[in-house]
Amino acid sequence: MMTPVPGVEGFMYPNEVELQWSLLIVLYPYITGLVAGAFILASLERVFRVKAVKPTYRLALLTALAFLLVAPLPLQLHLGHPERSFEMYLTPHRSSAMAMFGFVYLWYLLVVLLAEIWLDYRADIVRMAAVETGWRRWLYRALTLGSMNISEEARAVDDRVGYWITIIGIPSAFLLHGYVGFIFGSVKANAWWSTPLMPIVFLFSAMVSGIAAVMLLYMAAMYMQGKKVDMLCLDTIAKYLFFVFLIDFSLEMLDLVHRIYEADESFRSLDFMVHSRLWTSQVVIQIVLGTCVPLALLAAVLVWRFSETARKRMYVAAGLLTLVGIFAMRWNVVIGGQLFSKSYLGYTSYKLDFATREGLLPAIVLMLLPFAILWALVKLLPPWKPEEGDRDGVCPAAP
């Protein structure tokens, strides 16, 4: 007689009963996606000259930096020996997708994001180094790297170089998050992950989550500062969010239709899993609440006329639901991919701990950390210039 294992249904291989990749591994693609998405939103203004989103340009860059600094932490915490992770930089193995990701991460952090932020803020940093006092003065002076030249010509050079860095940054952002999708999509032994569409789906969902996050952060920042939200900016962001979300949803549905029509040997097992253990997180939260409802809200704004207050409320609701939906998508990929047996004959379950190394508490702390970093960055490098009032009292980004 077989002894039933709690949480296990049907046949599981012994090494499949307990999930090895936990909630922290869900956070990793989620946070990385927010980075890539925020940067793509910033590039709209810089490269594609979408002037309406200018008030969010600097905020988007700082958001990308704050989340990028936290992105590797869930992985570090997941590892039993986090110090060993640096060995992938010292002795990288070319066949390891994760080791190569370390270099993609460093490239994006050092060559793209820090360089672009420095160039964009340089003139402000030099000015603040002159007017600030105490430790802030020393900090700004260090950040100038010793160059005080902020002549029109020097700033024009900064602008040109920054423009080219953003151009390099767009494929780099695509690479950063496409690569996260590749790490999952290239696992050929896992039918739930193994699809060449995975990097593209991850990329578009990253753009969706990043745009939604910056939109909400911009509204929150304006609200906290008691300033008026630039509705043209907000409407434009919401429009881009809608179209990118539509592409993302189409790609996910394409993947679904392809799987249903192809119906390979894994299909019955995966289909059963979606109809049982993943029903709430995938169908209810990800597809209905996290995708269809925000898409409907954003589409309604494009089709019908709403008052400013109503539009703001709809954007807040759509943004929050989008972030929940994309989180659910990451959850369903990472956790869902470990719930079924490679024999396609059984299912296990994931029990989330609370105050353990990979529990809910560290996950909450890790999700709050980028906001704390962003708060410090905004204090240090203000994205808006309060003294230069803009149209209707809106505070635009620096030129």
Residues that bind other proteins (CB under 8 A): 1-3, 11-14, 89-91, 93, 110-111, 115, 118, 122, 145-147, 149, 151, 153-154, 156-157, 161
Which residue's structure tokens are 């039933």?
Answer: 4
Please check whether residue 397 is in contact with residue 117, taking contact to mean a CB–CB distance below 8 angstroms. Answer: no
The C-alpha torsion from 171 through 176 and 179 to 184, rounded to 10°, is -140
Question: Least CB distance from residue 93 to other proteins, whole Å?
Answer: 5
Q: Give the amino acid at 269.
A: S
Closest contact distance (angstroms) between CB of 6 and other proteins is 16
Burial 278-315, CB ≥16 within 10 A → b, else e: beebbeebbbebbbebbbebbeebeeeeeeeeebbebb
* Distance of alpha carbon 303 from alpha carbon 100, whole angstroms: 45
Q: Nearer Cβ to other proteins, position 161 or 256?
A: 161
Smallest separation (angstroms) from other proteins to the CB of 377: 18
Q: Output 60 or 125, the one with its CB closest to other proteins.
A: 125
Least Å from the CB of residue 67 to other proteins = 22
Nearest distance, CB of residue 163 and other proteins, angstroms: 13
Q: Which segments of the chain are extended strands (E)?
A: 9-10, 346-347
Q: Return the closest-CA partner of residue 382 out of 273, 173, 227, 252.
A: 227
Beta carbon of residue 12, minimum distance to other proteins (angstroms, whole number): 8
Tokens standing for residue 6: 């709690």
Shorter beta-carbon distance to other proteins: residue 99 or 367: 99
Q: Which run of H or E residues covers position 379?
A: helix 360-380
- Cβ 286 to other proteins shortest distance, Å: 32
Q: Which is nearer to other proteins, 13 or 48 (CB)?
A: 13
Q: Min. distance of Cβ 84 from other proteins in angstroms?
A: 12
Tokens 């190394």, residue?
357
**Residue 114 or 283 with smaller CB distance to other proteins:** 114
CB of 337 to other proteins, least distance (A): 20
Distance between CA atoms of 244 and 207, rounded to whole angstroms?
7
**343 or 349: whose CB is closer to other proteins?**
343
Q: Helix, strand or coil for residue 196?
A: coil
154 or 324, CB closer to other proteins? Answer: 154
With beta carbons less than 8 A apart as the criterion, state whether 109 and 61 touch.
no
3-class SS of residue 10 = strand
Cβ closer to other proteins: 13 or 138? 13
The first and second tokens of residue 392, run together, are 């209707």
Are the beta carbons of 380 and 48 closer than 8 angstroms? no
Residue partners of 286: CB distance under 8 A and separation at least 6: 325, 328, 329, 332
Nearer to other proteins, 110 or 365 (CB): 110
Smaller CB distance to other proteins: residue 119 or 297? 119
Burial class (CB in 10 A: 0-12, 13-18, 19+), 206: buried
Q: Position of tokens 């602008």?
A: 159
The least distance separating other proteins from the CB of residue 17, rounded to whole angstroms, comes to: 10
Name residue 384's beta-bridge partners.
397
Q: How far is CA 332 from the centre of its chain?
A: 16
